[in-house]
Amino acid sequence: MKAYSVTPVFQVSNLDAALKHYTEVLGFTEDFRFGEYAGVRMGDACLHLCAHRIHNRPVGGGTTCIFCDEVDDYCARIKALGAHVKTEPQDYPYGMRDFMVVDPDGNHLSFGCAIGGG
């Protein structure tokens, strides 16, 4: 078996509201929707949003890291659109420049790039 990718699934309270936030504020595009389950995409990064209660998972509490080519302009752009930025972009000793944003349900997304953008 060879694994090719992984997709985090965030539990959300309202799928319509979550899709609106992810597309209009964070800049993802809606990839698919099946009932109370949907996928969003930004470049090669995929994220699934789940509002059904089949598995009785708590809303919020999810975390994912999204690796990208830059973070400063993106952070400024989504802040202007109303994103809740928990930590501002900064350089870390592990060689990344990243920041953290929280969606309306409390799920955390870290956006990071190699220091210097490479």
* Confidence tier at 117 by pLDDT (50, 70, 90): low
CB 59 within 8 A of CB 11: yes
Neighbouring CB atoms inside 10 A of 38's CB total: 21
Whichever domain contains 27, its CATH number is 3.10.180.10
Question: Measured between alpha carbons, how far is residue 58 from residues 5, 63, 77 in Å?
Answer: 24, 13, 30
> Is residue 63 situated within a structural domain?
yes
* Confidence tier at 118 by pLDDT (50, 70, 90): low
Residue 55, token pair as written in the block: 């598995």
* Mean pLDDT calculated for residue range 79-105: 97
**Separation between Cα atoms, residue 113 and residue 71, nearest integer Å:** 7
* Mean pLDDT calculated for residue range 93-114: 97
> Is residue 23 situated within a structural domain?
yes
**Separation between Cα atoms, residue 63 and residue 78, nearest integer Å:** 18
Determine the structural domain holding residue 76 and report its residue range. 9-114
> Is residue 29 situated within a structural domain?
yes
In tens, the pLDDT along 51-70 reads 988 888 889 999 999 999 99
Compute the C-alpha angle 40/100/19, nearest 5°: 25
* Mean pLDDT calculated for residue range 9-34: 97
Structural domain count of the chain: 1
> Is residue 1 situated within a structural domain?
no
DSSP 18: H
> Is residue 108 situated within a structural domain?
yes
